[in-house]
Amino acid sequence: MTAAPNRREAKKAATRRSVQEHALRLFLAHGYDATTVEQIATAAGVSHMTFFRHFPTKESVVDTDDYDPMLAELIRTRPATEDPVTAIHHAATTGLAAILPADREALLIRSRLILETPALRARQADNEHATRVLLADALTARAGLAAPSFTLEVLAAASLAALTTAVTTWTRRGGDADLVALVNEAFRVLHEAPR
Amino acid sequence: MTAAPNRREAKKAATRRSVQEHALRLFLAHGYDATTVEQIATAAGVSHMTFFRHFPTKESVVDTDDYDPMLAELIRTRPATEDPVTAIHHAATTGLAAILPADREALLIRSRLILETPALRARQADNEHATRVLLADALTARAGLAAPSFTLEVLAAASLAALTTAVTTWTRRGGDADLVALVNEAFRVLHEAPR
DNA sequence: ATAACATGTGTTAGTGGCTAACATTCAGGA
DNA sequence: TCCTGAATGTTAGCCACTAACACATGTTAT
């Protein structure tokens, strides 16, 4: 059986996936805090060291998402004539359209856990900090500036706040609502706020 | 010597203050992560249990602020004719004017530590979550509504984002800039964003 | 004043997240 | 087939944090 030349990588990826699945399952069943890393590792048939080699922290099993680079890329390719908030808005809806069909359920489960668990909320909030910087940088690059201006930082922060509010509301409603519609609504509010 | 009937409370408050001061001093000197709770407790001449009786977590020594209730109260008393964002804006500047004269230095030190330390950033970000809810509720009460609308939630989130951006920028500039002016600028951006 | 009580603190013995050091196994190339 | 290196296991330990119980010191009532 001449295995594909990546049997090792495959095994590693399988282990990682297994750990993550068991973790989410146990979190949902018994709660995040009541589930120990040791239990997750045992359930997945590995040692706790393997857990930490795949996930730097217990929290990271839940709130790692890899959407940031895509979002940044989408922003950079928006036409220069668009104002910054609209650029983020359209980049977000485009990205969501690409993500939702496959990731909807996973996104919802993770969002729910994050909303319910203080430790995860905190970590997620710090992730948002990184996303904020990323958004500001993307806007900066799109505008051809060297360094982000205060204005772009405020707009990036406000846009991300609108986006997050939409996702939060969607999650609280059990994922029944149309997420893209909520995002559109949030940005409409942002645009019309001052009037 | 019939002591005032609060010698106990006074001692407790003194212990608390001592612990907090030693903590901030050690954090500044050696960094947050490199300072253990045991070291802080020893420096303050108490046991680590006393530390945790005064501060529920190591993080809370740094990022506990008691400004939220004041801010909420200031929002509720803004005239009903003001739009939500402006109400938050004016409440914030009023509050800052009251706080800054006395707390400027402490605020700056704490902000700097928070910006530099991932664990503190995460916790602070979760505090912001609470503040966001508080702002939305205050706007809701002011508008005479029963439950916060999606619109008010977005506006509260965006306003807080603007406010936080101003404080962050102020901190990064070493506190040299005029914080109130930065806040005004941030809200001006928010108002003019869509045009 | 003295007894009774309440409360802030210390001691001790844990649990759980997380890391370092070293041993082991096993896939893939020479 | 042997050899290298990557993935994992084992062990021991640090640190944040908690529970249980003991102690001592203000406070209050008698």
Residue nearest to nucleotide C9 (CA to C1'): B50
* pLDDT score, position A61: 95
pLDDT band at B5 (very low <50, low <70, confident <90, very high): low
Of B151, B164, B192, the CB nearest to A157: B164
**Residue A122: is its pLDDT beyond 70?**
yes
DSSP A89-144: HHHHHHHHHHHHHHHHHHHHHHHHHHHH-HHHHHHHHHHHHHHHHHHHHHHHHHTT
Tell me the pLDDT tens digit for each residue of A151-180. 999 999 999 999 999 999 999 999 999 999
Interface touch B122/A126, C-beta < 8 Å: yes
* Protein CA at A49 to nucleotide C1' at C18, angstroms: 9
CA distance B171 to B114: 10
* pLDDT score, position B64: 84
B183, closest residue in chain A (CA to CA): A154
pLDDT band at A192 (very low <50, low <70, confident <90, very high): confident
Closest chain B C-alpha to A131 CA, distance in angstroms: 13
* One-letter amino acid of A49: M
On whether any CB of chain A is under 8 Å from the CB of B79, the answer is no
| CA proximity to A23, closest of A113, A101, A126 | A113
First to last CA, chain B: 71
What's B56's DSSP letter? S
What pTM does this model have? 0.85
Of B125, B150, B151, the CB nearest to A125: B125
On whether any CB of chain B is under 8 Å from the CB of A121, the answer is yes
CA distance B193 to A29: 45
**Structural element, H or E, at residue A31:** none
Mean pLDDT over all residues of chain B?
92
Of A85, A150, A161, the CB nearest to B194: A85
Tell me the pLDDT tens digit for each residue of A43-61. 999 999 999 999 999 999 9
* pLDDT score, position A2: 39
* One-letter amino acid of B133: V
